[in-house]
Amino acid sequence: MVTQAFAQEAVTPTEENLDNAIDATHTAPAPGATGHDDPTAGTHATTEAHGDAGHSDVFPPFDPATFPSQLLWLALSFAALYLLMSKVALPRMGSILDDRKARIDADIAAAEASQQKTDAAIAAYEAALAEAKNNARAIATAASDASKAELDGKRKAVEADLAAKVSAAEARIATTKTAAMTHVDEIAAETAQTVVTQLVGDIPGDSVRAAVAKASKE
C-alpha cells in the first residue's frame, strides 16, 4: 500500500530534479533557436519537469487528489446496490423462499394425511381380521359341538340298537337253549331206555325219563 507521505514525496519534485531540469533547459537549445537564450524556455521546461515528476509514479486509486470522487462514487454505488438488493433481489428471494416453504408445508401436511389414512386403513383391516378370526373360531366351535352332539346321538342310537339286538339274541339263545335242553332230555331218555332195554330188558319209559331228568338237574 502506498502511504500518503510516499505519494506527496512522489508528487513534490526534489531540488535535485529541479536542478537537473534547469541544466537541461540551459544546455539544450530550443528548436529554431538562433544562438541567443530564450528567457521563457527555462520556464516551459521547468513546468514540464514538474508535470512529469508529479504524475509518473502514483497509482490513480491511491492518489489523494481523487479520494473525494472515489468516496462519492463509493457512496453512490453502495446506495444503488442497497436499493437494488432491498427493493428487487431480497423481496424476490423472500417470495421464492415463502413459496418453497408453503409447498414443503403442503407436502408435509399431505404426507401426514396419507399416513393417518394408512394407519386408519391398517387399524380397520386388523379389526376386520380379528373379527373374522373370532367368527371363524365361533363357527368352528359350533360345528364341532353340533358334530359331537350328532355323533353322540348316533352313537347312543347304535348302542341302543345293539343292546336291543343283543337282548333279542340272548332271548333267542335262551329259548333255543331251553328247547335244546328239552330235546336233549328226550334224546337222553330214549338213548338210556334203549341201552337199558338191551342190558336189562323192558323198563317203563317214565322211569327212564325221570332218572334222566334227575341226572341232568344234578
Q: Residue range 89-106: average pLDDT?
A: 92
Query: Which range (34-48, 87-101, 156-170, 172-186) has the least confidence?
Result: 34-48
Convert the pLDDT of each residue in 207-218 to its tens digit. Answer: 666 766 666 665
- What pLDDT shows up at residue 202? 66
Please report which confidence band the pLDDT of residue 78 belongs to, taking 50, 70 and 90 as the band edges. Answer: very high
* Rounded Cα distance, 13 and 20, in Å: 11
Whether the CB-CB separation of 11 and 58 falls below 8 Å is answered with: yes
Most confident region among 133-142, 172-181, 198-207 by mean pLDDT: 133-142
Above pLDDT 70, what percent of the chain? 60
- What pLDDT shows up at residue 98? 93
Convert the pLDDT of each residue in 118-157 to its tens digit. Answer: 999 999 999 999 999 999 999 999 988 888 888 888 888 8
Whether the CB-CB separation of 45 and 24 falls below 8 Å is answered with: yes
Q: Is it the case that residue 34 has pLDDT exceeding 80? A: no
Cα of 60 vs its chain's centroid, Å? 66
Residue entry with cell 531540469 = 21
pLDDT top residue among 186 and 107: 107
Convert the pLDDT of each residue in 38-75 to its tens digit. Answer: 444 444 444 444 444 444 477 877 888 888 888 999 99
